Every structure is written in C-alpha cells, then in structure tokens.
Amino acid sequence: MELKGDRSRRSGTTSGLPGSPPLRGPGSSPPPYVLALPAQPSKEEEDDESWELASRRKAAEERISWWAASLVAFGGLAWGLDLGSISGALAGARQRFGLSDREAGLFVGLMSVGELWGATLAGVVGDIFGRRRCLAAADVLMVVSALVLASAQSKTTLYVGRVCSGTAVGALFVALVAWASEVSPSRRRGTVMASFELAISAGFVCSFAVFAAKPVEVWRALFALPAIPAFVQLVAIAIAPESPVWLATRDRKRGVEAHRQLYVRWGRDDVAPPLDEGPTTVESTSCWPWRVPWLCVVVLAWLTFFTGGFNLRIFAVEIFEASGMSAEVAARATLGLGVVKFATTAFALARVDVDGRKPFLMRSLGVTAVCALVIAAGMGVPWLVVAAAHVYTAAFQLGFGTCNFILVGELFPPHLKGRLATSVKFPAAAFQFSSQLLFALALDSYLPLLFAAHAAAAVLGLIFVRFVFVESYNKSPAQIKHELRATPFAKWWKRRRRRRRRRLHAADDEAWNPADDDDEAWNLAAACGSPITQRTPLPHRSDDDDEEDEGRIAASFSQSSSSSSSSSSSSKEGKSRSVSLSLSSPTRLVAWT
C-alpha cells in the first residue's frame, strides 16, 4: 500500500506534512516565497574595500597635515621673528634710549622671565579652557607686545613690552605643541611639528635680512615684524577646529564628533579612524603616573643645552675668532650656520616620519660627539673648526632641533599635556642659563676642554637614548609609557628598588618594638570603623604568642577569602574584599584588596 505522502515526495510537490514547504525535485524552480540571502563578499572583495578605505584615509590625513602645518608655521614664523629681532634692534634701542650695558642685559633677560610665566599660564589655561582659546590669547598678546615695543617712548615701556613678548612666546610654544600634536594624524605628526622649527629658522633669516639692509634705522620695524604672522594665525585659528582629543577628555561624544568633522572639513572625506586617546581611569588625571616620560623629556632638555649645539650658534663668532679667524670672516661663516640650520630642518621635515625619532637622536648624538672632539683638538686650525661647526649645527638641528617639539607633543597625555609641557620649561630654563654661563666663563681660556666635556655629554646621551628611550612614532602616550617601563634600564631599576625594600623590611623586623605595633593596630581599627571605643595598653608579649596570633589571623584570612570567593564572583572584576577581624593582641597586619 502506498501512502499519499510517499507519492507527493516522489513528485516533489509537497512533503506530506501540514504547513511545510514543497520539496525541490530535479528541474524544479525555487518557490516564489523563498527569500534569497545576500551574497557574502569574498576575501578579495574585502581586501579591495579595505585597501580603498586605507587609501582614502591616507589622502585625508595628508590634507589635514598640510592644513595643520600651515597654521603652525605662522606661529613658528612669529616666534623666529621675535627671537631674531633682538639681534638687530638692540643697537637701535640702545642708541635711542641710551641703555647702558647693565640695562641692555636686563632688557634681553626679561624675555626669559616672561617666557616662564607665559608657559605656566598657557599650560593651565590650555588644559581648562581648550587649545584654540589659549592659542588665540597667545596670538593677541604677541601682536600687542610687538606694537608696544615698536612704539615705545621710554625705558619702562620697553621693559614692559619685552616681558609681554616673552610671555607670548612661552604661551605660544605650549599652545602650539598641544594643539598641533592632537589635531595632526599620528603618522604625520612629526612633519607638522617639524614645520614649526622650519618656520622659526625662516623667521631668523628674515629678521637678519631686514637688519642687514639698514641696521639702526629699522629697529622699530624689527620689533613690529612678529605682529604680522601672529595676526594671520589669529584669523586662521578662529576658523580652525578645536582639538578633538581635548574635547574627548571633557565629553567623549563631542570629541568623537569633532574628530569626524575634522576629517570632513580638512580631509574632505568622512573616513575618520576611531578616536582612542583620552583618560580612561581615575589615576590618569594625576601627573605622577607620567613621571617616567617627564623625566625622559627633562634629560633630553639637559642634553640639548649641554651637548653644545645650542651655544655654538650663540657664540659662533667668538669661537671662530678664538681659532685664529678674523672678525669679518667669522661673521660670514656665522651666516653659513643659519643656512645649514634651515636646510637641515627642511630635510628633517621630509624624513622624520619615515626614519623615526630615536634614529634621528642617535645619529645626532654620535655626530655631535665626533665634531666636538674635532673642535677641541683642532682649535688652532680655522678651516677645520668652521667645517666641524657646520656639521655640528646640522647634527644638532637634525636631532634636538627637530625632535624636541615632537616628543613633548607625543609623550604626554592630552588632558595633562599643557601642565607637563609647562613643568618641563623650568628645568630647561635652568639648564639653558647654567650652560650659557659656563660657556661664557670658559670662552677665553678653557674652550678645548669645554668641547671635550660636550663630547662626553653626547656619549652619555647616546647611551641614554639607546638603552632607556623608546621609539614614539605612531604610538599613543599610554603605549610609550608602557614601553619606557619595560626597557632594560627600567627593569634593572625595579629590581634594585625591590632589593632595597626587602633590606628595609628586614631591618624593621630586627628592630621591632611591640609598642609600635600597638599604634598600628589602634590606627587600623579606628580607620576600619572597629567597635573599639577605649584604648588600653597591651602588655609585652613573647614571640611564641605573636606566632600563635599570626597563625590564627592567617586562618581567619583564609576562611574569609574562601567564603568570599564562593559567595560571588564580583571580586574578579576589581571590587575590594573586606575582612573583619577582632584583634586581641598586637600583630603585623596585611591589607587585602
């Protein structure tokens, strides 16, 4: 006997079960009510899509980098004009106001005082009110100080203008480093920051060109020159975006949206990568966890001033004359140093995001050590000293001249960048003052010995960069901090500290006094809210009694921890466990979390 369902299955019309779809036989077409799933892309198609997205994102990052570098360049140009104008304008100001040597020194030194004050103010203002507002305030102060100096009619006005100029320079440094390092893409951050140094070099060259035309008559124009690029940057920053990273520290949603709008406005494409920078823990709001990156920046600041490259540009004429060169030839050779500085910065602008920061620093320190030894050994040969000085300048500019600004922006977290960058300015100012004072004192009699000391400092710096410092290219501050704590030197330092703590604990155990443990037990019970209401002195106990109490407390800890772990698993998620103990004897306590 043949069932109806069997015939239907053979014919392919129905399965014989109520409500079930018909079975498909040979040559049958799919039923009209069966929905076809979308075709999954193949691996080749996924690779093509990811390659296209990466290409669009790279093009957008290039456009953002050029916009940011252009805005940063105006700030560097203003800074370079302001720093270089004093070389040509000082003679005219002294002639106009009759400044003595002491008054001229005071006038020049007031800029350093204002720079420290401006950096301190900009660090706090930038972290609280934002990078754009801090940068705009620095530009306004730069314009005002330039106009005050250019229109000064008394010594007091001249001094006030100089302090305001230094304040603007210090604030401009901190604000530009913070804003540019957070707006620029991580893979192009070095190029953006190197454009700042390139613009400073261009500002020096422009100020020297104006001074060479009419050295005394145009001293007011030299003081007024920085107002032009500062005003242009002020207009540009008014339409520039705020730092998305800083906004993310205040409001995560606003920061993510600003990050996307940055790519839409400046990158002209909505391909923004995820924004992964910003504080994530309560600990990150403190500056103390970032002490290792801060110390690295301070060491680099020490190397900047004590390897001799910075002072070589300031005392170049005196060094060339000490080697046996005439004053006129020495002045021409000094102009060559400016050309080398500008050309080296342009080269670093193109290569710093390709080779990395650490290789630049190591090459710079190695060449610096060799050049310093050549100058120390060949002080009586003018052409050798000039050639070594030019290579010396190129090496310094390739390493410290380019990387210092980049590293300040990369090693510090966004929500603390202003304050940490400001705190670095104080030891850097002390290093600058002491190195220049030492160089001026040793210029007449101990110049070869001084350059030999610079060579030794460069060798120490080479060891520091090789074994302590890490590469920071395309890395977040948290990654850099983690890698700095994992270097061989950091591991050796941790082992040394652990051994020292063990020795101290062993000494404490040998000099243990029960009365001290009475104080510890009482304070701990009061802090934990123990029902103890009256403190009674405890008698002296023997070591056997203490061992018995310690064994009982250890058993209580074990029992309490086992019951706590079996009752819930929330302790694995970071919640602290509390253990309640009734203490009847002085013992050493351990706090468990």
How far apart are the C-alpha atoms of 93 and 81, rounded to whole Å? Answer: 17
- Residue 190: its pLDDT value, please? 83
Whole-angstrom CA distances from 468 to 304, 476, 488, 490 are 17, 18, 7, 7
433 is written with which tokens? Answer: 């003052």
- Banded model confidence at residue 523, pLDDT cuts 50, 70, 90: low
- Residue 510: its pLDDT value, please? 57
Tens of pLDDT, residue by residue over 353-380, are 888 899 999 999 999 999 999 999 988 8
Q: Does the structure show a pLDDT above 50 at 34?
A: no
- Structural contact between residues 401 and 99, judged by C-beta atoms closer than 8 angstroms: no
How far apart are the C-alpha atoms of 514 and 383, rounded to whole Å? Answer: 77
- Residue 40: its pLDDT value, please? 57
Rounded to 5 degrees, what are φ and ψ at 356?
100, 170
- Break the chain down into helix, strand, coil percent, rounded to 5: 75, 0, 25
In terms of pLDDT, which residue wins out, 521 or 468? 468
Rg (CA), the chain: 34
Helix, coil or strand: residue 271: coil
How far apart are the C-alpha atoms of 317 and 2, rounded to whole Å? Answer: 115
How far apart are the C-alpha atoms of 188 and 58, rounded to whole Å? Answer: 10
Whole-angstrom CA distances from 112 to 86, 116, 320 are 13, 6, 27
Q: What is the percent of the chain where pLDDT is above 70?
A: 73
> Which alpha helices (DSSP H) does 307-401 contain, by range?
309-314, 316-322, 327-355, 357-377, 382-396
**Widest CA span in the chain:** 130
Q: Residues 6 or more apart from 196 whose CB is under 8 A from it?
A: 72, 73, 75, 76, 176, 177, 180, 405
- Residue 462: its pLDDT value, please? 94
- Residue 236: its pLDDT value, please? 92
Q: Does the structure show a pLDDT above 60 at 125?
A: yes
Termini Cα distance of the chain: 78
135 is written with which tokens? Answer: 């940068």
- Residue 493: its pLDDT value, please? 83
Tens of pLDDT, residue by residue over 408-464, are 888 988 778 888 888 888 898 888 888 878 887 887 778 899 999 999 999 999 999
How far apart are the C-alpha atoms of 4 and 279, rounded to whole Å? Answer: 72
How far apart are the C-alpha atoms of 501 and 496, rounded to whole Å? Answer: 9
Q: How much is the average pLDDT of 196-201?
A: 86
Q: What is the percent of the chain where pLDDT is above 90?
A: 20
- Banded model confidence at residue 11, pLDDT cuts 50, 70, 90: very low
Between helices 155-183 and 417-442, what is the axis angle to 10°?
A: 130
Closest CA to 458 of 305, 293, 311: 305
In terms of pLDDT, which residue wins out, 161 or 499? 161
- Banded model confidence at residue 561, pLDDT cuts 50, 70, 90: very low
- Residue 142: its pLDDT value, please? 93
- Residue 511: its pLDDT value, please? 54
- Structural contact between residues 297 and 407, judged by C-beta atoms closer than 8 angstroms: yes
CA dihedral 252, 253, 254, 260 (to 10 degrees): 110
How far apart are the C-alpha atoms of 415 and 285, rounded to whole Å? Answer: 7
Q: Residues 6 or more apart from 403 whose CB is under 8 A from it?
A: 300, 352, 357, 360, 361
- Residue 432: its pLDDT value, please? 81
Between helices 402-411 and 477-484, what is the axis angle to 10°?
A: 100
Determine the residue type at 131.
R
- Residue 282: its pLDDT value, please? 36
Contacts of the segment 146-155: beta carbons below 8 A, 24+ positions apart = 146/82, 146/223, 146/224, 146/225, 146/226, 146/227, 146/230, 147/224, 147/227, 149/223, 149/224, 150/220, 150/221, 150/223, 150/224, 150/227, 151/220, 154/97, 155/97, 155/99, 155/103
Q: Does the structure show a pLDDT above 80 at 13?
A: no
163 is written with which tokens? Answer: 């302090």
In terms of pLDDT, which residue wins out, 190 or 505? 190
How far apart are the C-alpha atoms of 408 and 421, rounded to whole Å? Answer: 7
Closest CA to 179 of 223, 225, 129, 217: 129
Q: Which range among 107-116, 141-150, 406-415 has the greatest average pLDDT?
A: 141-150
The lowest-confidence range among 18-32, 337-351, 392-406, 415-429 is 18-32
Q: Strands (DSSP E) along 162-312, which ranges?
A: none
Tens of pLDDT, residue by residue over 264-306, are 888 887 788 877 644 443 345 678 888 899 999 999 999 999 9
- Residue 584: its pLDDT value, please? 36
SS (H, E, C) 439-484: HHHHCCCCHHHHHHHHHHHHHHHHHHHHHCCCCCCCCCHHHHHHHH
- Residue 47: its pLDDT value, please? 62
Task: DSSP letter for 399, please.
Answer: I
The lowest-confidence range among 79-88, 219-228, 507-516, 563-572 is 563-572
Q: Does the structure show a pLDDT above 80 at 121?
A: yes
Count of residues making up the chain: 593
Rounded to 5 degrees, what are φ and ψ at 398?
-65, -35
The lowest-confidence range among 417-426, 440-449, 502-511, 548-557 is 548-557
Average pLDDT, the chain: 76
Q: How much is the average pLDDT of 61-73?
A: 90
